[in-house]
Amino acid sequence: MERKKVTIAELQQKKMAGEKITMMTAYDYPTGSLVDQAEIDTILVGDSLGMVMLGYDSTVPVTMDEMIHHCKAVSRGVHCSFIIGDMPFMSYQVSVEQAIENAGRFMKEGACDSVKLEGGSEMASVVKAIVTAGIPVCGHIGLTPQTATKLSGFKVQAKDAKSAQQLEKSAKDLEEAGAFMIVMECIPDLVAARITRELNIPTIGIGAGKDCDGQVLVYHDLVGLFERFTPKFVKQYINLSPQIKEALVQFKSDVEKGAFPGPEHIFTMKPEEAEKI
Ligand code: KIV
């Protein structure tokens, strides 16, 4: 059967049926295409691209134009997975009007199916305004990397009862504001399980235990292409960096020894034509 574009209704049905939802980040055409071919439900063009693709120290410097550039590339390679564009720092905080305008760019220019933004109860009115404008919004609570400085670093959140209750309130406020899904990052598994039970919309965990409705990982972590650090919650399925480095070293050596290009890589002329030169 021909696979069709994943819809929000299907993601919701998966939650109801207790079927897990999959999400993977992608930042370019070939990766978008591979993730789509792997039939992963949703693709997040995450602002993590600032660190894993652009070499920034955090996601804070990422701009709207950078995000749109990468969303365009991903969406060209994707036919069925549901694409979520990640709104960068300060693209939705300054005013509701600017938030709607920037969310609109993800849909019109980036060819995304929805947007994601970080923040809890304090962002509910912005989420509501974007949803009212006709753009589906995915929330993101717990460790929110754009405001890691305010959280005093990349730390597990909601570790005590009071902050766990606040987080649950945030999740409920985002659901009420119209979010169709919520990413929960770096929180204790019990807190994530409780929020997942309490909400009608799906939750996607990253460092939030196994009881979320789905899981997301950063592609570069999964395939071993980001060497600066590996968070505890990452499962590396393949370690590509050493293999790619080895191939590059081999190429250099082959060129230097004259072993590349070989006869099979060379275009030749008919001898009678060669004689005329
Ligand atoms: O930017 C990103 O990749 C994310 C995930 C870590 C959820 O927000």
Pocket of ligand 1 (CB under 6 A): 25, 44, 46-48, 86, 140, 183, 185, 206, 216, 218
Dump pLDDT digits (tens) for 75-93: 999 999 999 999 999 999 9
Give the pLDDT score at 229: 86
Q: How far is the CA of 187 from the centre of ligand 1 (A)?
A: 14
- CA torsion, ordered 187, 193, 199, 204, to nearest 10 deg: 60
Residue 1 has pLDDT above 80, yes or no: no
| For residues 38-61, average pLDDT | 97
> Phi and psi of 71, rounded to 5°?
-60, -40
* Pocket test residue of 143, 154, 185 for ligand 1, highest count of atoms within 8 A of CB: 185
Which of 89, 216, 219, 225 for mutating ligand 1's site (highest number of atoms within 8 Å of CB)? 216
Domain borders along the chain are 8-241, 243-274
Q: What was the pLDDT predicted at 152? A: 86
State pLDDT tens for residues 81-134.
999 999 999 999 999 999 999 999 999 999 999 999 999 999 999 999 999 999
Q: At what angle do helices 161-177 and 189-198 cross, to 10 degrees?
A: 30
Rounded distance between C-alpha atoms, residue 228 and residue 210, angstroms: 26
Report the CATH superfamily, name and number, of domain 8-241: Phosphoenolpyruvate-binding domains (3.20.20.60)
Instruction: Classify residue 156 by burial, with Cβ atoms within 10 Å: 0-12, 13-18, 19+.
Output: middle
Active centre residues (catalytic): 185
Q: What is the pTM of this model?
A: 0.96
Closest protein CA for atom 6 of ligand 1: 218
